[in-house]
């Protein structure tokens, strides 16, 4: 009896002083949470404690660090979560949502932890982390051309499980095998088959989420609006994604990869200029990524332009195709390697000897990625003139470190309506990723590189999409705006929201307002609710 009384008093305290809960000693928050979690899951506290961690727990740091993929957010001054929950079942996820709600903490959801600005595990407000990495089941069903892929699985696991069952099935998703399904698919997801098959979210059959009421809902249960929203509208705004049912795509038994490089003194400017007319228009079986990097060669500062490509076909065919369409590349058969689609995924992951690499490397989660990094994005709708490419190269040499990646669109991408999914950038020529990585932990150095990224982004203004200038959600970039979770969050959210989603932002806001009016599922760049009418 006295115990019930105490918890009622506690509860009333939380209700009457919601903001004060933030100053509760974390131990009491932990105990309150644990008690609720244990009750909701009907599991003894001792057992539950294996899945709920406070900073005093000896495993806390290991668990937090396991999915930090950017060393910028791995320092002693990086804000840390008050509680980490690592659910092992849907009912754990449900309980985590319901038990967090009254505590008024920001509830961060993390699957693969690849968010470029760390939003899945960092916040400047007191926060919890729900780490989905234990919910990683992947089951592939070749007869029905489909697979169930859990949020906590990695793309490498998805590719590997497909490879186990078939050499002529694949899935169009990202090229980095440690990226998580949860963030990748909820944010759109693209890879080197995008010109042939579009985005990952163009191949969704079903999904499961836990909503703000703690319910586990499939596509029928959540309805078409919410299903649409989680097909690219961003993880963390609408619920906890448990996983997706995807449609597999056919891949040929033999594909071709190649990498060819040019420098400024060997025609890089012309090649990059011409690439803009070919990359987005050529045979949709061909994806030619362009990497542009300032380098020092023979003691001279120059720019290297590298084409890294996947062709869903044979080497002879892509060599003769490019002899006609892009002779500036001077592609030879010797530059090409034929292999299976799965091996091409290894090759794209920088496994030089893809055909001799153990396929099981794609199951490895313990990669030691300790580099610091920053990314930004842009879209190009009309070709950059030749003198523009020249001035860009000069600018990149002047800045010294930051590189660019051009990803060609066209093909299947341009056939899909802009509102078919929340991802609106269907008719662009290509996407630019700004990319800088470094190894030194000094704050001064970090500031320099972050500024380099901003400066190049600003330099590119004249060449890229406008009104709104566009950006790719999965290339998370807090420089383009954040919301403070407060009363101006709609106005703040509209800034980055229009850049990421264009006109689709309005539908996302409507759905958000309907399914999560209290804005429980939020982060610095989540979809805001509509401002309340006065
Ligand atoms: C090395 C590297 C390579 C990449 N390559 C590609 C690429 O080829 N193509 C591409 O499209 N993108 C690529 N990306 C970007 C990547 O798609 C995004 O960072 C993606 O959001 C990562 O998903 P995650 O689960 O690993 O990340 P997380 O950091 O766990 O999550 C990212 C966001 O999604 C939310 N979220 C995560 N899980 C869930 C869930 N279960 N339910 C609801 N919300 C959730 C998080 O709260 C966060 O806001 C790459 C990133 C890196 C670091
Ligand atoms: C492409 O092949 C040609 C002919 O063998 C060779 O000279 C050239 O160096 C190769 N290019 C690359 C980038 O490997
Ligand atoms: C690639 O494989 C060849 C032949 O097995 C070997 O000689 C070479 O050292 C390997 N290269 C790398 C980078 O592993
Ligand atoms: C984070 O820091 C730990 C301890 O210094 C280190 O072992 C780990 O590799 C780091 N991870 C990243 C991504 O920087």
- pLDDT score for 373: 97
Q: Which of 68, 73, 74 for a ligand 4 pocket mutation test, highest count of atoms within 8 Å of Cβ? A: 74
Q: Which residues line ligand 1 (CB under 6 A)?
A: 69, 108-116, 119-120, 132, 151, 174-176, 179-180, 182-184, 186-187, 189-191, 235-236, 240-241, 474, 523
Q: What is the third-level CATH fold of 255-338+371-463?
A: Vanillyl-alcohol Oxidase; Chain A, domain 3 (3.40.462)
Share of the chain above pLDDT 90, in %: 90
Give residue-wise pLDDT tens across range 377-408: 999 999 999 999 999 999 999 999 999 999 99
Considering only the C-alpha atoms of the chain, give the largest distance between any 2 of them, rounded to a whole number of Å. 84
Q: Which atom of ligand 1 is nearest to the CA of 173?
A: 9
- pLDDT score for 491: 96
Span of 24-28, 68-72, 84-88, 182-186 with lowest mean pLDDT: 24-28
Name the closest ligand to CA 133. Answer: 1
**In terms of Cα–Cα distance, which of 193, 314, 186, 184 is closest to 248?**
193
Nearest CA to ligand 3 atom 12: 353
Would you call 291 helix, strand, or coil by DSSP?
strand
Give residue-wise pLDDT tens across range 219-269: 999 999 999 999 999 989 999 999 999 999 999 999 999 999 999 999 999
- pLDDT score for 24: 52
Name the closest ligand to CA 319. Answer: 2
Please, which pLDDT band fits residue 370 given cuts at 50, 70 and 90?
confident
Q: Which atom of ligand 3 is nearest to the CA of 353?
A: 1
pLDDT at residue 11 is higher than 50: no
- pLDDT score for 352: 82
Residues of 258-281 as b/e, b for ≥16 C-beta within 10 angstroms?
bebbbbbeebbbebbbbbbebbbb
- pLDDT score for 5: 43
- pLDDT score for 7: 47
Distance between Cα 245 and ligand 1 center (Å): 18
Nearest CA to ligand 2 atom 12: 260
In sequence order, which ranges of 207-312 are alpha helices (DSSP H)?
Answer: 219-229, 268-278
Nearest-angstrom CA–CA distance, 264 and 271: 10
353 Cβ inside 6 Å of ligand 3: yes
Q: What is the dihedral of CA 265, 271, 273, 278, to 10 degrees?
A: 180
CA distances from 16 to 9, 31, 32, 116 (A): 10, 20, 16, 37
Distance between Cα 80 and ligand 1 center (Å): 20
Distance between Cα 352 and ligand 3 center (Å): 8
Nearest-angstrom CA–CA distance, 337 and 258: 6
- pLDDT score for 354: 87
At a CB cut-off of 8 Å and minimum separation 6, what does 435 contact? 373, 374, 375, 402, 403, 404, 405
Nearest-angstrom CA–CA distance, 105 and 63: 20
Nearest CA to ligand 1 atom 17: 184
DSSP 466: -
Please tell me whether the overall predicted TM-score, pTM, comes out greater than 0.75 for this model: yes
In sequence order, which ranges of 138-218 are alpha helices (DSSP H)?
Answer: 155-165, 181-186, 194-197
- pLDDT score for 251: 98
Q: How many CA atoms lie within 13 A of 272 on its CB side?
A: 30
Name the one residue in this structure whose structure tokens are 């099981």: 360
- pLDDT score for 8: 42
Nearest-angstrom CA–CA distance, 174 and 185: 10
Would you call 354 helix, strand, or coil by DSSP?
helix
| Two structure tokens written together for 52 | 């709920």
Q: What is the third-level CATH fold of 21-131?
A: 3.30.43
Q: Mean pLDDT of all residues in the chain? A: 94
- pLDDT score for 485: 87
CA distances from 153 to 51, 159, 367, 455 (A): 18, 11, 15, 36
Name the closest ligand to CA 211. Answer: 1
Distance between Cα 353 and ligand 3 center (Å): 6
- pLDDT score for 369: 64
Distance between Cα 106 and ligand 1 center (Å): 19
CB atoms within 10 A of CB 355: 12
Distance between Cα 113 and ligand 1 center (Å): 7
DSSP for 133-146, please give it: TT---EEEETTTTE
Distance between Cα 411 and ligand 3 center (Å): 36
Please report, for the chain, the start and end positions of each structural domain, with discontinuous segments joined by +.
Answer: 21-131, 138-250, 255-338+371-463
Do 21-131 and 138-250 show the same overall fold?
no
- pLDDT score for 27: 82
Q: Which atom of ligand 4 is nearest to the CA of 74?
A: 1
Q: Which atom of ligand 4 is nearest to the CA of 69?
A: 13
Name the closest ligand to CA 121. Answer: 1
Please, which pLDDT band fits residue 2 given cuts at 50, 70 and 90?
very low
- pLDDT score for 18: 40
Q: Per-residue pLDDT averaged across 349-378, rounded?
A: 89
Q: Per-residue pLDDT averaged across 195-205, rounded?
A: 98
pLDDT at residue 9 is higher than 50: no
**In terms of Cα–Cα distance, which of 343, 176, 156, 196 is closest to 256?**
343
CATH class of 138-250: alpha beta
Residues of 144-169 as b/e, b for ≥16 C-beta within 10 angstroms?
ebbbbbbbbbbbbbbbbbbbeebeeb
68 Cβ inside 6 Å of ligand 4: yes
Q: Per-residue pLDDT averaged across 178-201, rounded?
A: 98
Q: What residues are labeled active site?
A: 475
| Two structure tokens written together for 220 | 């029928």
């Amino acid at each position: 009896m006295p115990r019930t009384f105490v918890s009622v008093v506690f509860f009333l305290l939380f209700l009457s002083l919601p903001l004060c809960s933030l100053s509760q000693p974390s131990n009491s928050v932990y105990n309150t949470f644990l008690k609720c979690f244990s009750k909701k899951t009907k599991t003894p506290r001792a057992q539950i404690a294996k899945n709920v961690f406070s900073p005093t727990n000896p495993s806390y740091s290991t668990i937090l660090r396991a999915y930090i993929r950017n060393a910028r957010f791995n320092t002693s001054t990086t804000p840390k979560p008050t509680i980490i929950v690592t659910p092992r079942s849907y009912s754990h996820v449900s309980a985590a949502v319901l038990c967090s709600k009254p505590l008024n903490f920001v509830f961060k959801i993390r699957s693969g932890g690849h968010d470029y600005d760390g939003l899945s595990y960092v916040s400047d407000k007191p926060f919890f982390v729900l780490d989905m990495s234990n919910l990683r089941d992947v089951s592939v069903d070749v007869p029905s051309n489909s697979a169930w892929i859990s949020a906590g699985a990695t793309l490498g696991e998805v590719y590997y499980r497909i490879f186990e069952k078939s050499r002529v099935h694949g899935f169009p998703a990202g090229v980095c095998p440690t990226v998580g399904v949860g963030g990748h698919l909820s944010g759109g997801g693209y890879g080197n088959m995008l010109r042939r098959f579009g985005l990952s979210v163009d191949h969704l059959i079903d999904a499961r989420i836990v909503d703000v009421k703690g319910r586990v809902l499939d596509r029928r249960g959540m309805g078409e609006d919410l299903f649409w929203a989680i097909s690219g509208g961003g993880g963390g705004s609408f619920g906890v994604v448990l996983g997706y049912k995807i449609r597999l795509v056919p891949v040929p038994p033999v594909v071709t990869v190649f990498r060819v490089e040019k420098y400024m003194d060997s025609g890089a400017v012309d090649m990059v200029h011409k690439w803009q007319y070919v990359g987005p228009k050529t045979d949709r079986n061909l994806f030619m990524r362009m990497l542009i990097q300032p380098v020092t060669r023979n003691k001279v500062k120059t720019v290297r332009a590298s084409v890294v490509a996947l062709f869903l076909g044979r080497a002879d065919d892509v060599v003769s195709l490019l002899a006609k369409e892009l002779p500036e590349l001077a592609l030879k058969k010797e530059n090409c390697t034929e292999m299976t689609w799965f091996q091409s995924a290894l090759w794209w992951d920088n496994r030089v000897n893809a055909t001799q690499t153990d396929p099981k490397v794609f199951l490895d989660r313990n990669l030691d990625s300790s580099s610091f990094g920053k990314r930004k994005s842009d879209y190009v709708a009309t070709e950059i003139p030749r003198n523009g490419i020249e001035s860009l190269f000069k600018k990149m040499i002047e800045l010294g470190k930051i590189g660019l990646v051009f990803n060609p669109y066209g093909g299947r991408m341009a056939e899909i309506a802009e509102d078919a999914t929340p991802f609106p950038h269907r008719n662009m020529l290509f996407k630019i990723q700004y990319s800088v990585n470094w190894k030194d932990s000094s704050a001064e150095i970090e500031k320099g590189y972050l500024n380099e990224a901003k400066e190049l982004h600003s330099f590119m203004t004249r060449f890229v999409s406008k009104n709104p200038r566009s950006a790719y959600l999965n290339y998370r970039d807090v420089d383009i705006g954040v919301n403070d979770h407060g009363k101006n969050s709609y106005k703040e959210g509209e800034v980055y929201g229009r850049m990421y989603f264009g006109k689709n932002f309005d539908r996302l806001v409507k759905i958000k307002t309907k399914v999560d009016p209290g804005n429980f599922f939020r982060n610095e760049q989540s979809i805001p609710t509509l401002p309340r009418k006065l």
